A = this chain, B = another copy of it.
Amino acid sequence: MHPGTDEAEWREDCAPRRVLSLFATKWTSMVLHTLHARHGGQARTGVLLRSLPGISKKMLTQTLREMEEVGLIERRVLAAMPPAVDYRLTPLGCRFVEPVTMLYDWGRANADALDALGSRAGARRE
């Protein structure tokens, strides 16, 4: 089955790998999904912080910065005191929500199959 099945070659900087790299950091996909599914694509720092159990301020900020750098979200500072900042999905960000949501839904759909076999999925090997 090597033939027409577009070779793809897995070049280091090919699009698919660039996409996969977005899942490399722990929180990116969750921030994205939360921002979209729970806050309509726009939310403030504190809100996100509370929507993501377990994340630290540091990681949230860092993750948001990376996402901004790649063009998934836009940061807006509201001149005020105390300061208020909100983040919103860019067009690209909205589009990237699609695959993330697919993954999310796929996970829910196959939840049982997953624990049937992958009880030790995240288990340390010892």
Contact = CB atoms under 8 A, between A and B. Distances in A.
Interface of A: 1-2, 5-24, 26, 29-30, 34, 37-40, 52-54, 65, 69-71, 92, 95-96, 98-99, 102-104, 106-108, 110-111, 113-114, 117-118, 120-123, 125
A121 B38 contact: no
Contacts of A18: 107, 114, 118, 121-122
Q: Which 6 A-B pairs have the closest CB atoms?
A: A71-B117, A19-B107, A15-B111, A16-B107, A15-B107, A1-B40
Given A9-B53, A122-B21, A117 B70 contact: yes
A114 B15 contact: yes
A117 B99 contact: no
